Chain A
Amino acid sequence: MRLQNLAMPLGLIAVAAFFALRLDRGALFGDEAFVFLGPRNLTQLIVEFSIIGTLALGMFMILLTGQIDLSVGSGVGLIGGVAAVLVFQQDWPAAAAMGAALGVAIMLWTLMGTLIVRQRIPSFIITLGGLLIFKGLFWLVIQNSTVPVSRGDQSNLYSLLTTYYLPTYMGLGLALAVGALLAVIAWHSRAARRRHGLPVRPFGTEFALWIGVSAATLALVIICNHFRGVPLTLIVLSGTAAMVYFLTRHTPFGRYLYAIGGNEEAALLSGVAVNRVLIGAYLLMGVTVALTGFMTTAYSGAATTTVGDLMELDAIAACVIGGTALKGGRGSVGGVIFGALIMTTLLNGMTLLAVAPETKFIARGVVLTLAVWMDVGFGRAKT
Chain B
Amino acid sequence: MPLLEARGLVKEFPGVVALSRVDFDLHAGEIHALCGENGAGKSTLIKLLAGIHPRGSYEGELRIDGELAAFRGICDAETAGIAVITQEFALVDELSVAENIFLGREPRRGIRIDWLEMHRRAAMLLEDFGLRISSEARVATLGIGQKQLVEIIRAMDKQSRVLVLDEPTAALTETEVAILLDHLRRLRAQGTACIYISHKLEEVLAIADRITVLRDGASVATLAARDASVPLVIKHMVGRELAELFPRRAAPARDEQPGPAPVLSVRHLTVARARGESAFLRDLSFELRAGEVLGFGGLMGAGRTELVMHLFGAWGDRVSGDIRVKGEPYLRPTPRESIARGLILATEDRRRYGLVLEQTVGFNLSLSSLRNLRTAGGRIDQPAEFVRNQHWFDALRVKAPSQNERVGKLSGGNQQKVVLGKALMTQPAVIILDEPTRGIDVGAKVEIYELINQLAVEGKAVILVSSELPELIGMCDRIIMLASGRIGGEFVRGQFSPERLLAAAMAARREAPRGE
Contact = CB atoms under 8 A, between A and B. Distances in A.
Co-complex (A, B): yes
Interface of A: 192-193, 195-198, 246, 250-252, 255-256, 258-259, 262-263, 265-273, 329-330, 382-383
Q: Which of A258, A267, A270, A382 has the most CB of B within 10 A?
A: A270
B61 to A, nearest CB: 27
Interface in B303-358: 312, 314, 335-336, 338-340, 345, 347, 352-358
Contacts of B340: 271
Nearest to B382: A250
Interface of B: 312, 314, 335-336, 338-340, 345, 347, 352-359, 363, 367-368, 370-371, 374, 378-384, 386-387, 408, 422, 426
Contacts of B339: 271
A82 B371 CA distance: 39
Contacts of A258: 356, 359, 363
A259 B338 contact: no
Given A262-B356, A269-B314, A329-B356, A255 B367 contact: yes
Contacts of A272: 335-336, 367
A273 B370 CA distance: 12
Contacts of B371: 252
B53 to A, nearest CB: 13
Contact of A266 (B356, B380, B381, B382): B356
Contacts of A267: 356, 367
B335 A196 contact: no
Given A259-B367, A271-B339, A273-B336, A266 B355 contact: yes
A256 B374 CA distance: 14
Nearest to A383: B408
B335 A268 contact: yes
A44 to B, nearest CB: 37
17 contacts: A196-B384, A196-B387, A197-B387, A246-B379, A258-B363, A259-B367, A262-B358, A265-B353, A266-B352, A266-B356, A267-B356, A269-B312, A269-B314, A269-B353, A271-B339, A271-B368, A273-B336
Nearest to A262: B356
Contacts of B355: 263, 266
Contacts of B314: 268-269
Contacts of A197: 387
Contacts of A271: 335-336, 338-340, 368, 426
Nearest to B355: A266
Contacts of B383: 192-193, 195-196, 198
A270 B335 CA distance: 7
Contacts of A263: 352, 355-357
Nearest to A253: B378
A359 B358 CA distance: 38
B345 to A, nearest CB: 7
A56 to B, nearest CB: 22
